[in-house]
Amino acid sequence: MSTENGMNNSDKNVKYSPQEIIAKLQAHPKFGSQIKPITSHQAEIIESGLEPAVVIAGAGSGKTETMSNRVLYLVANELATPDQILGLTFTRKAAGELSVRIRKRLRQLAQLPEFKHISSTGTNVTTYHSYAGKLLSEHAIRYGIDADAEPLGEAAIWQIASDVVRNWADDSYRNQSAVSTVIKDLLGLSKFMLEHQVKPAEIERIDNEILEQMQRFTGSTNEETRAVVRAMRQRNALLPMVESFLQRRKDAGELSFDDQMSLAADISENFPDVATLERGKYKVVLLDEYQDTSQSQVRMLSSLYGSGHPVMAVGDPSQAIYTWRGASAGTMASFGKYFPKLDNQNGKHTFSLPTTFRNDRIILTAANAVGQLIKSNGGQQVVELQARDGAGAGELSYGVYETIESEAAAIGEYFKNLWDPAALKSCAVLVRKRSQIPAIEIALRQQGLPVEVIGIGGLIQIPEVADVVTLMKIISDPDAGSSLMRHLTGPRINLGPRDIAALGSFSRERAKSVHADSKSFIKKIAAGNPEQLEADDQFSGSIIDALDEIAMAKHFPFSDIGYQRLVVFAQDLRRLRAYAGGQITDLITEIENYLTLETEIVLREGSQTGRRHLDRFLDEAAKFQRSGGSISAFLDWLDVASDEEGGLKAGAPEVRTDVIQILTVHMAKGAEWDVVAVPGLSEGTFPGVNKSDPDNWLKNEKHVPFPLRGDALELPSFSFDGIEKNSEASKAIKAFGTQCVDQIKMREEMRLAYVAITRARTHLLCTASWWRDGTRSVVPSDIFNIIATSASSNGGLLISDVPSPKEGSENPTLENPQSAQWPRDYLGEKRSQFNAAVDLFDQASEHSLITSGDNEVGSWILDAKSLIAEHQQQKKDVIEVALPTRLSTSTLVALHENPEALALNIRRPMPRSQDQYSRRGTAFHLWVEREFSDAATLFGDEYLDYLDPLEDDSTLENLKASWLKSSFASRTPVRVEVPFETTIAGVLIRGRIDAIYSDGDGYQVVDWKTGSKKLGESAQVQLAMYRLAWAKLSGCDISKISAAFHYVPTGITDQPVDLLNESDLIQLISNIKLENKQ
């Protein structure tokens, strides 16, 4: 029994060391084998004194286990009760994982005779935003603010900013940027002002000082000085708009997460009694992912828990990749400044967790090579990762290719060779820029591999989603000429050069007749975006308006078939425009149906997973729709989302083993995969520098002047001192720009590379190519060279080494562009097969409808009878309702129970409000998930960071208590809240399984029921579907899987023994007719 490290524990005696606690748990006959040993580094942290300390935790180093064992140690030794310990992290997934680990260990510990004093396992682990929201709900009244409303997400805040900018009433306002850029500048500047507590007058003072200095310079102005003058003036002109934007949200109670955090920080700083209250509640504070905390979060926490309070911050400075969101790269190093020790606190200040339990050895070596460069560039707190005992050798492959296409093809081949669905290995491609996604996605599909693109910005690159988005633009924007071209030359319209030219001529003639040319040009210039003339409309006048009036055009310039297609297309667009004033999701669904996208992707990928990208896009549209956005605002928002390479706010992705996931490196943080590819490691791509949006306050008006920021000492400084000429000023401005790139952007890019490398467990592929999409070749980046050097020295696999192009060489993709016949035959090699089938049909004689013994012929007869029956049905009072191509499990139950009622609901769907019972059920399921699982939550992080709490619900608390008494509470589920998609009789069934437990050599699938009434026979269809879905997901024989309803209020578990099998479910869907009276 030991205690050292300056343990400050009042008059309490420490009875058990961390090693002794672990040993006692390991000795337990039931769960002892689940308890992992701890390292000496972990033990040192776990038993450290109750005083401020920071832990540098390397990637995959077991920080969650360490923090949970820290809580275990404090509770076991009666230094704190579970509810006196506050744990904060960034996402609900991370909070859930930590909370699960702590509660599980405390329940296990409480079963040991030495620790009977542990009567509660309730913890206070939540997100930073949730904690700030709770603080506001209790104290915002001090500022006269109603903080009870759910905070707005980024899409809703963007809509408000868009409205402020587009309706700004100041006629004297001038800005040379496009409207979309002004909106982004407004959002960025307001965010930084809130984050760093900067007043408009302070910004105006510094900007004016710069302008006054520049007025005194002699000589001609130049591009650099003009850019600075423009940024200073435009930022000053933006300040009244920022004040209006912030005041409007404050008055209406339309607060964002950033607003809430800033207000919580203000309250914490200005009302000392709040800190007294919070310190009284929480004797110990644990801060996770501390390197990503913003200035507002640091202000709030240091005001509440500074001055010696036992705060332990855990993080990794090598993974500080969110400086553009307000985090500071030096947050870990400045911990002692904000959380100083008292004079009598002499314990260790900094600890480290260097042993990683994730990466195999060769991957670890590459990560350390990148980490060494981070350290040499000022990251003194970087920890060198050490391999775990028994770590595998791993595989690190690397290669340089000629072009983007050949690089993408190699990635496709790499995954094809490793792909084995039965092995349940997770695979991902982590890109730096979303523009990399299309080529890689195509290459993977060409290898026959299932693909999932994560993130709205990436989704826009997917062909079927791009088809929907561009058609939405055609419907809502008469200037979206480039979007129209996608469809005019696509497989549906498939026009040739003659018809395109004829439509262009008609557009010009029409424009002249209404004198539209000059007006259109002036309008675009006034909007600050004259380039749109070339980018969005290749023809004078609006080609979309011309298409709408195609019936007025002369026929002879067009081909007959081309003219017919244009007339029909114009009619279709007019019909679709009828939906433009309604719900966004309704328009998307109509466009899907019009383009027959579902049929296309089902044929391409199979029905089980083919719709995933369209469904994710619909989900994003629904989120935007809930905040009251219009279709045009949604399209603008999509443009913003696709431009944000760092990614919009999102939680960690849900890792899957049935697809290869493609996502940005920023989105990948917090997740890990068995196999990872990192492409595009060439200069300009990774690392990438966004020249149009630099981290430079001199040229980018969305940034507050660096001297006003809370982390000013970590940023480059600038001065015109000693400068008298504009030419000298130009050099100083350029030098400062270079400093901003080197000290801010490039260092973050290196940390981003570290994050990418450390996502891989066993296999890592890193690639580059000499030619991207420009006229000049690009060299492999420093990141690639570091990885290649490490790999070549440690047994890595060089899979391609294309030599550098000779000087003067041309880009092969430009020198030898792909050529094809236009208009394109989209059937390609299948044309002859298609024509043969048509000929066979034309030559075929009539066939009787007598049942045939030939299965294939029999299916034709069945189809023919169905078509005849459908035609006859139209004449009857009772009509047959088509079964939807996608069903939920609850709809499947309704199909078994009452087909007629289901038919009525399908024909005339009625909205269903959520009553207290369904709300309570949702809350209960969410509680179980958070209590006993580290799986992703039911909803997106954006909507759960501050969930409006239900009114005090004693029934909900009773449900929790009843569940904890059940046998399931003491068992550890294999998985919880498991989403699935599977196809039965050509219908896609989607659902979510509540929990799966191990049961001997099989599994038990369980569905929680929060009602007491035992369900009827039809409800067993739900269990049958869950059982079948888990059999397909796990690969387990269905005979070894049981399924049960657990009625939580009564504690009764109903496990039917005669559930439907797959053939029974097929028969259910195939044979039941849905009929409804007209």
Kindly list the distances between the CA atom of residue 217 and the CA atoms of 721, 727, 737, 811, in Å, as whole numbers in the listed order.
12, 9, 20, 44
Tally Cβ neighbours within 10 Å of residue 196. 21
Average pLDDT over residues 849-870: 79
pLDDT on residue 692: 63
pLDDT one-digit tens code per residue, 247-297: 888 877 778 888 888 889 999 999 999 999 999 999 999 999 898 888 899
pLDDT on residue 207: 94
Please check the confidence at residue 520 and state whether its pLDDT lies above 70. no
Bond before 687 cis per omega within 30 degrees: yes
The Cα diameter of the chain in Å comes to 100
Q: 841 or 24: whose pLDDT is higher? A: 24
The CATH homologous superfamily for domain 458-643 is PCRA; domain 4 (1.10.486.10)
Please check the confidence at residue 685 and state whether its pLDDT lies above 70. yes
Stretch among 298-307, 349-358, 572-581 having the lowest mean pLDDT: 572-581
**Would you list the domain boundaries of the chain?**
18-138+263-353, 152-254, 395-454+652-694+735-802, 458-643, 916-1077
- The two three-digit tokens of residue 547, written as one number: 């298409």
pLDDT on residue 7: 43
Cα dihedral sign for 476, 480, 486, 491?
Answer: positive
* CB 915 within 8 Å of CB 65: no
CA distance linking residue 407 with residue 432, whole number of Å: 15
Q: Helices (H), strands (E): how many in the chain?
A: 42, 23
pLDDT one-digit tens code per residue, 403-434: 999 999 999 999 999 999 888 899 999 999 88
Average pLDDT over residues 292-304: 92
- The two three-digit tokens of residue 809, written as one number: 């060489």
The top-scoring range by mean pLDDT among 142-156, 244-258, 794-808, 868-882 is 794-808
pLDDT on residue 1071: 65
* CB 761 within 8 Å of CB 672: yes
CA distance linking residue 50 with residue 37, whole number of Å: 23
CA distance linking residue 655 with residue 661, whole number of Å: 8
Q: 658 or 881: whose pLDDT is higher? A: 658
Please check the confidence at residue 489 and state whether its pLDDT lies above 60. yes
pLDDT on residue 358: 92
pLDDT one-digit tens code per residue, 863-916: 888 778 767 766 665 555 556 666 777 776 776 766 666 655 554 444 444 444
pLDDT one-digit tens code per residue, 921-978: 666 776 776 655 443 332 333 322 222 233 334 467 778 778 888 888 878 888 888 8
CA distance linking residue 462 with residue 473, whole number of Å: 16
pLDDT on residue 783: 95
pLDDT one-digit tens code per residue, 227-244: 999 999 999 999 999 999
The rounded percent of the chain whose pLDDT value lies above 90 is 34
pLDDT on residue 434: 85
Please check the confidence at residue 329 and state whether its pLDDT lies above 80. no
What DSSP string runs through 545-576?
A: HHHHTGGGS-STTS-HHHHHHHHHHHHHHHHH
Stretch among 357-366, 439-448, 455-464 having the lowest mean pLDDT: 455-464
Average pLDDT over residues 1018-1035: 86
Mean per-residue pLDDT over the chain, rounded = 82
Stretch among 242-256, 629-643, 904-918, 1026-1040 having the lowest mean pLDDT: 904-918
pLDDT on residue 763: 97
932, 995, 977: which is closest to 97 by C-alpha?
Answer: 932
What DSSP string runs through 933-966?
A: --SPPSS-HHHHTTPPPPSP-HHHHHHHHHHHHS
Please check the confidence at residue 383 and state whether its pLDDT lies above 50. yes
Average pLDDT over residues 821-828: 74
Average pLDDT over residues 641-649: 54
pLDDT on residue 793: 95
Please check the confidence at residue 593 and state whether its pLDDT lies above 70. yes
What is the band of 639 on the pLDDT scale with cuts at 50, 70, 90? confident
Please check the confidence at residue 9 and state whether its pLDDT lies above 50. no
Looking at domain 395-454+652-694+735-802, which of 3.30.300.130, 3.30.750.24, 3.40.50.970, 3.40.50.300 is its CATH number?
3.40.50.300
* CB 482 within 8 Å of CB 535: yes
Domain 18-138+263-353 belongs to what architecture?
3-Layer(aba) Sandwich (3.40)
Please check the confidence at residue 539 and state whether its pLDDT lies above 50. no
The DSSP bridge partners found for residue 1053 are: 1046
pLDDT on residue 338: 92
Q: Do 395-454+652-694+735-802 and 458-643 agree at the fold level?
A: no
Describe the crossing of helices 295-305 and 128-139 by its angle, rounded to 10 degrees: 60
Average pLDDT over residues 811-828: 74
Average pLDDT over residues 176-182: 84
φ/ψ (deg, to 5) at 126: -150, -175
CA distance linking residue 41 with residue 353, whole number of Å: 6
CA distance linking residue 538 with residue 1016, whole number of Å: 64
pLDDT one-digit tens code per residue, 689-744: 766 667 899 999 999 999 999 888 888 999 999 999 999 999 999 999 988 888 88
- The two three-digit tokens of residue 41, written as one number: 């580094």
What is the band of 981 on the pLDDT scale with cuts at 50, 70, 90? confident
CA distance linking residue 883 with residue 1066, whole number of Å: 13
* CB 946 within 8 Å of CB 1036: no
Q: Where are the alpha helices (DSSP H) in 398-455?
A: 404-418, 437-446
Domain 916-1077 belongs to what architecture?
Alpha-Beta Complex (3.90)
The whole-model pTM stands at 0.72
SS3 717: coil
* CB 710 within 8 Å of CB 206: no
The alpha carbon of 619 is separated from its chain's Cα centroid by a whole number of angstroms, namely 12
